[in-house]
Chains A and B, each alone.
Chain A
Amino acid sequence: MSKNNNHPNETIYKPGSQVIVDMLLEQGVEVMFGYLGGVVLPLFDKLYDAPIKFVIPRHEQGGCHMADAYARATGKTGVVIATSGPGATNLTTGLATAMMDSVPLVAITGQVRTSLIGNDAFQEADTTGITRPITKHNVIVKDPNTLAQTIREAFHIAGNGRPGPVLIDIPVDMQLAECPIPPKTEIELPGFKVKSRGHGRQIAAAVAAINDSKKPVLYVGGGCIISGASEALRAVAQKANIPVTTTLMATGAYDQSRPESLDMLGMHGSAYANYAVQYADVLISVGARFDDRVTGKLDTFAPSAKIIHIDLDPANIGKNVHVDIPVVGDAREVLEEMIDGLEHRPRKEWFEQIAAWKSKHPFMYDKKTDVIKPQYVIEEVCRQTHGDAIITTGVGQHQMWAAQFYKYSKPRQFITSGGLGTMGFGLPSAIGAQVAFPDRTVIDIDGDSSFNMTLTELSTAAMYNLPVKVAILNNGFMGMVRQWQELFYHGRYSQSSLKNPNFADVAEALGCVGITVKKKKDVPGAVEKMLAETRPCVVDFHVDPTENVWPMVPAGKSLHEMDGLDIFEMA
């Protein structure tokens, strides 16, 4: 890359803006997302000639979600740029979203020049101060000598260990200063050590407990997707003969068409997964963190189970539940080390019990009615895409239905904001995934209110000819809020409905295809049309506004205390 390569040991100096671009290329960055502004102009000037694909969102939040979804879809580190002040503050929701779901992201923000910092200069914000709790790490560059290495370290920290967003705040004078590029060496950070191999004795204890168990359950979290553990997971589950339940974040980590798949557990998980956890004698948690939406009431979670917890982040272990056998390590590496010691057990009674729960309480809805049930739309989308699309979502009922009624078989196929629960994530994340995989079918299964939050990004999809699909399950409500108001606030629907625009018209106005579906019989045709469309396409499905997500473990109840099971039987 260097022009003066006749002296290989001589440090090269370049303007900071060029150093940033060189470092991005050194890290293998092919695509980035971001928005302009005064203090990032030197950087954008260098990006003008750089062999990096650039996507400009309509709002920095959208750009951050795009970079996030690009990372979730590929496993690579996403990159987003924003200017100082409002540009940086607009990133915050995106950073917090990525932080909660452990997504590797590098955010570069411009900053006012160092001599002005602290003076309330135009478009100055304390970006590192604001983003400290919502980034894995952040740093402001105040010395040109540190710029290059800081960027290398940012990628190292973002992508290694438990991944997360790292923000680098770069004052404009640093972009203009001559900065050295030291030779690339192994990164040594005294405070950042990753231990990925599990402890041999702990692994042996886990294997012994599993071999001794009669009613084991594998409880799998997003860590399995991050570490690429799906293969190892399948090998463990099949060799030892163990049923597998996945959290929302682990959707797709285990092929849902397999008989030992219990689908999702938790507040809106399957009855059979929740029962299995409650009756298990050994619970093997892999890359999951015992979130309250998963465990329900903690004291009565998996009450008779010995708990094995495999996690890369030691802070996750023992945070919420007492763990009998902790194993600190990478999910894939630990599972691979376990395989040899595991023995096959028939567990006939256990699987019979599970089969009985499965046939008694499948995910269900009223299929006979004339109104469009949201679940029906998802099943139809799943059928026509052969369960092979990348699905993104907003947050709410539609998100839960997208997890329940689409059947996933591969990791990185389902992209959703699990930890933070960020409405508006659906469309920008679909765009990010589509940028990563231009030839795959990417569908945002969205809610009307969630879609309203970031629909401006339709023009981004149109501008870059990205054929993303948006299937709005339009119930005219903040449906999940409405459901809680119905169940816990005596049906007092305080402020939970919006007057929506005609979404098809909005789509057309923003350069996309818009379709409205009001009749059940038109659903299959509309889905077909949507899938065939080469332009970005929005289909506004007017679905039953009264539909609720079942089953439901009300907040504070135990996992087996699900409501809505009888509603299933009636249907």
Chain B
Amino acid sequence: MKHILSALVLNRPGVLAHVAGMFAARAFNIDSLAVGRTDDPTLSRMTIVILGDDKVVEQVRKQLMKIVEVVKVQDFVGQDVVARDLMLLSVACTPEKRPEILALIEMFNGKVVDIGAKFVMVEVAGPESKVEAFIESCRPYGIKSIVRTGTVAMARQPRTKSEE
């Protein structure tokens, strides 16, 4: 099962190496890892997606907590979360194909960020499933290159249950 862990860590050199090293040393499987600053300059947020049963994930959470630079770890499983991936994708696109592909991009709420005679570069953000679906839709045209971030996620406040 897939779990999203959100860890608040000290914004110091070596912390990413420590966390990544712990995962490797204990043979935990990371699906993705995204790191970024928070509003507090001394802290960073790591969003870690791992595959494993509850027992494994619980062990991951405890091992993370043991790292001195890790301040807090949350497992979002069972919670109402907003989870998003961001992707840049460059797809082959001749002028004849353009209308077709632009329609596709619009369907996925994508954004054209660069365009040439033979390609178009698109920015797509959303739940992982949407990003995957967009990739599949582009495949027949010829994907030139893909760059993706890992998932970032935030729990919804229970009282502000708005639509996704």
Contact = CB atoms under 8 A, between A and B. Distances in A.
Interface of B: 9-10, 14, 17-18, 21-22, 25, 55, 58-59, 62-63, 65-71
A496 to B, nearest CB: 30
A460 to B, nearest CB: 33
Contacts of B58: 318
Contacts of A140: 14
B68 A189 contact: yes
Interface in A124-154: 128-129, 132-133, 136-137, 139-140
Contacts of A489: none
Contact of A132 (B18, B66, B71): B18
B138 to A, nearest CB: 40
A313 B65 CA distance: 10
B59 A318 contact: yes
A139 B68 CA distance: 11
A570 interface: no
B59 A132 contact: no
A92 to B, nearest CB: 14
A319 B60 CA distance: 10
Contacts of A190: 10, 71
A191 B17 contact: no
Contacts of B69: 191
B58 to A, nearest CB: 7
A1 interface: no
Contacts of B59: 315, 318-319
Interface residues of A, number: 18
Interface of A: 128-129, 132-133, 136-137, 139-140, 157, 189-192, 313-315, 318-319
A128 B21 contact: no
B18 A314 contact: no
Contacts of B63: 315
B67 A191 contact: yes
B62 A191 contact: no
Which 4 residue pairs are nearest across A and B when measured between Cβ atoms? A315-B62, A137-B68, A191-B71, A190-B71
13 contacts: A132-B17, A133-B21, A133-B25, A189-B68, A192-B68, A313-B66, A314-B65, A315-B59, A315-B63, A315-B66, A318-B55, A318-B58, A319-B59
Contacts of A314: 62, 65
Contacts of A318: 55, 58-59
A313 B62 CA distance: 9
B26 to A, nearest CB: 10
A132 B14 contact: yes
B7 to A, nearest CB: 10
A132 B70 contact: no
A363 to B, nearest CB: 36
Contacts of A128: 14
